Chain A
Amino acid sequence: QLVQSGSELKKPGASVKVSCKASGYTFTRHAMTWVRQAPGQGLEWMGWINTNTGNPTYAQGFTGRFVFSLDTSVSTAYLQINTLEVEDTAVYYCARVPEALLSWLDPWGQGTLVTVSS
């Protein structure tokens, strides 16, 4: 099971950190991915983090302001977005990678709505 932190309302230029707490399995045995869904839009793969090494990989369009991190002591993955823009308004999902196949994501967190507005 993946449980994400609650909704956030931020101003442009601020930062936000979304958490994703895993339970029911060994956290470091499965990679974690992040997926964005803007209002009324489709899903976008943001990249993934190796929960064993902590090495992140970012998809095109998600480099620079987006940071994946971990705290393995509490089985939690984090997504930090710096210098927020209005266009970052979206629901952000974390999802576990069951096997070494990045397209198969299961389970998913419930999603965290990040709203960026002045």
Chain B
Amino acid sequence: QTVVTQEPSFSVSPGGTVTLTCGLSSGSVSTHYYPTWYQQTPGQAPRTLIYSTNTRSSGVPDRFSGSILGNKAALTITGAQSDDESDYYCVLYMGRDVLFGGGTKLTVL
């Protein structure tokens, strides 16, 4: 069974840049999987950051960007702020199914 892989945790300093990745247990992630990124803070519903690889959702600051890096999808946060401390989920469109990654817990310190 295919699994979407994400780093379990990551840390970044305030003002720093971090890149979170999203891979597949078998194969490469491409734009054909329309990678989507969600941010979730504790007790809140997820919020869409990026869809279709690199399109920012309405109201999302431009310090969040999406791309394909090598064989993975990537979410880059430039100039990290304290309120970026959240869980980040990658989602891939697999045709008839949708697969969520296990999420990355980002710490800003």
Contacts and interface: CB of A to CB of B under 8 A. Distances in A.
A43 B51 CA distance: 17
Interface stretch (B10-18, B63-71, B75-83, B100-108): B100-108
B81 to A, nearest CB: 22
A8 interface: no
B19 interface: no
A110 B87 CA distance: 17
Interface string B32-68: 0111101010000111100110000100000000000
B100 to A, nearest CB: 5
B25 to A, nearest CB: 15
B91 interface: yes
Interface in A61-118: 93, 101-106, 108-111
A103 B89 CA distance: 11
B36 A103 contact: yes
Interface in A13-45: 33, 35, 42-45
Given A42-B89, A104-B51, A106-B48, A57 B96 contact: yes
Given A42-B100, A43-B89, A110 B52 contact: no
A9 interface: no
A21 B53 CA distance: 29
Contact of A108 (B34, B45, B92): B45
A92 B38 CA distance: 16
A61 B40 CA distance: 24
Given A42-B89, A103-B34, A110 B98 contact: no
Contacts of B40: 43
Contacts of A93: 45-46
Interface of B: 33-36, 38, 40, 45-48, 51-52, 57, 87, 89, 91-93, 96-103
Interface of A: 33, 35, 42-45, 57, 59-60, 93, 101-106, 108-111
